[in-house]
């Protein structure tokens, strides 16, 4: 039996990097004392979610991964607590900017990085202004906590990404996230839809999912977003094992038996009975009838 104690942390963020990291460190240390081996942190936790505004002055926030102080600090924390930490950052690579996840193993070693593949573009979430399309392809990291497939926020809406990572060997899927209200549609609450999509990934792939969202009201120059938290952990059937509320700084945990889950994944038949010869449509350009001007 390989039992994994998985956790997700959700906090509110200001533009004080060290204060945000102090809060996260406190929560990681506390949940590590409770046995957590994998702790998923939210997307772009160093500061406020600057993508609310279309202002390229925010590009100064991006830093190279080499010598990145937050990576160094989180690596020291991982080593101290014996936890695997996926760390979400605004990366500068020469003239290119990426929304990047760095995977840090329980001994503090940086295992590599993943650059967000799917970049959204809508009022309040103007990420195409800031981030280039990720060029790493999907990544699965072999960690002390198991084989972890990592996506970032908008990636979680794409079943192709989840299936690809499980085919690559992922035993758990993790999604650092920043999602909340829609400035253009103030009455629209996507929280339940958001959760159900990822629950579907878990059930379809017989693979647990961990999503860590942020909370709080963040105001930009033009837009305001109310992040709705609700971080959660599923089992391999998509059932929620743990869930945070919408407004509280929280840490949630769940126990996962990776060997038992692997046996269920092998026996259920969804991978045995796949028909890749029929999936050519997935490789074609999206039909115009399914596109809107906001999808550009």
Q: How many angstroms separate the first and last alpha carbons of the chain?
A: 47
Q: Which of 13, 46, 91, 153 is catalytic?
A: 153
Euclidean distance between CA atoms 158 and 4, whole angstroms: 26
Is 116 a residue of the active site?
Answer: yes
In angstroms, what CA-CA distances link 32 with 39, 68, 179, 236?
A: 8, 24, 26, 23
- Helix, strand, or coil here: 119? coil
Which residues lie closer than 8 Å to 185 by C-beta, 6 or more apart?
none
Is 153 a residue of the active site?
Answer: yes
Is 54 a residue of the active site?
Answer: no
Please give, one letter per residue, the 3-state secondary structure of 234-285. Answer: ECCCCCEEEECCCCCCEEEEEEEEHHHHHHHHHHHCCCCCCCHHHCHHHHCC
Residue located via tokens 């599923």: 234
Q: Which of 43, 91, 171, 218 is catalytic?
A: 43
Q: Strand ranges (DSSP E) for the chain?
A: 3-10, 38-40, 85-93, 96-104, 110-115, 139-143, 146-150, 172-176, 209-212, 215-219, 224-228, 232-234, 240-243, 250-257
Residue located via tokens 């992040």: 227
φ/ψ of 61, rounded to 5, equals -70, -20
Q: Which of 51, 116, 182, 218 is catalytic?
A: 116
Catalytic residues: 43, 116, 153
């Amino acid at each position: 039996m390989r039992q994994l104690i998985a956790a997700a942390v959700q906090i509110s963020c200001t533009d004080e990097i060290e204060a945000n990291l102090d809060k996260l460190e406190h929560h990681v240390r506390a949940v590590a004392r409770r046995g957590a081996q994998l702790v998923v942190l939210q997307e772009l936790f160093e500061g406020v979610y600057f993508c609310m505004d279309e202002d390229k002055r925010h590009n100064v926030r991006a830093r190279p991964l080499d010598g990145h102080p937050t990576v160094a600090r989180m690596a020291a924390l991982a080593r101290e607590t014996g936890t695997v930490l996926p760390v979400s950052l605004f990366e500068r690579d020469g003239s290119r900017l990426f929304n990047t996840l760095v995977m840090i193993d329980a001994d503090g070693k940086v295992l590599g990085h993943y650059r967000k593949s799917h970049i959204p573009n809508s009022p309040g979430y103007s990420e195409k202004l800031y981030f280039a399309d990720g060029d790493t392809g999907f990544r699965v990291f072999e960690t002390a906590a198991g084989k972890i497939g990592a996506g970032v926020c908008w990636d979680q809406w794409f079943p192709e990404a989840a299936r690809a990572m499980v085919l690559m060997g992922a035993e758990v899927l993790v999604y650092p996230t920043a999602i909340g209200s829609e400035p253009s549609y103030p009455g629209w609450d996507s929280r339940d839809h958001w959760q159900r999509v990822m629950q579907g990934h878990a059930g379809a792939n017989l693979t647990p999912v961990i999503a860590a969202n942020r909370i709080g009201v963040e105001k930009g120059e033009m837009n305001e977003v109310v992040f709705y938290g609700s971080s959660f952990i599923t089992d391999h059937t998509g059932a929620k094992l743990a869930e945070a509320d919408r407004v509280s700084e929280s840490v949630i945990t769940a126990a996962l038996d990776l060997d038992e889950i692997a046996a269920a994944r092998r026996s259920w038949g969804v991978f045995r009975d796949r028909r890749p010869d029929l999936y050519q449509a997935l490789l074609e350009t999206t039909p115009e009838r399914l596109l809107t001007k906001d999808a550009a």
